[in-house]
């Protein structure tokens, strides 16, 4: 799977967390409609996991990373991620 970048957005969203309703823009490169459906399901799983991790640690608010997150998880600098947006603008990736 190509790497996908999900960034928080309060204005527009491609995906919303089913637990808290937080919106996310999704940056993906040339995925088919069926692939996007699969990716959305994976994003939803990751968003639920954010809540499960924080619940286990006793925290119940602001659980999603402020700077966004990658699928699959990226451990390097964001500037080297294949999913980093080229411009500094937030624009829907759909």
Alpha-carbon torsion angle 47, 73, 61, 20, nearest 10: -20
Confidence tier at 84 by pLDDT (50, 70, 90): very low
81 pLDDT more than 70: no
Residue 14 banded pLDDT, cuts 50, 70, 90 = very high
Domain that residue 12 falls in: 4-80
Counting the structural domains of the chain, the total is 1
Residue 72, domain member (yes or no)? yes
pTM exceeds 0.75: no
């Amino acid at each position: 799977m190509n790497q996908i970048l999900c960034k928080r957005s309060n204005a527009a969203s491609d995906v919303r967390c089913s637990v808290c309703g937080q919106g996310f823009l999704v940056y993906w490169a040339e995925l088919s409609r069926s692939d996007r459906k699969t990716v959305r399901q994976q994003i939803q799983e990751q968003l639920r996991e954010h809540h499960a991790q924080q619940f286990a640690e006793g925290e119940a608010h602001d659980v999603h990373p402020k700077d966004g997150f990658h699928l699959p998880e990226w451990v390097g600098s964001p500037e080297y991620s294949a999913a980093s947006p080229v411009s500094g603008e937030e624009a829907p990736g759909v």
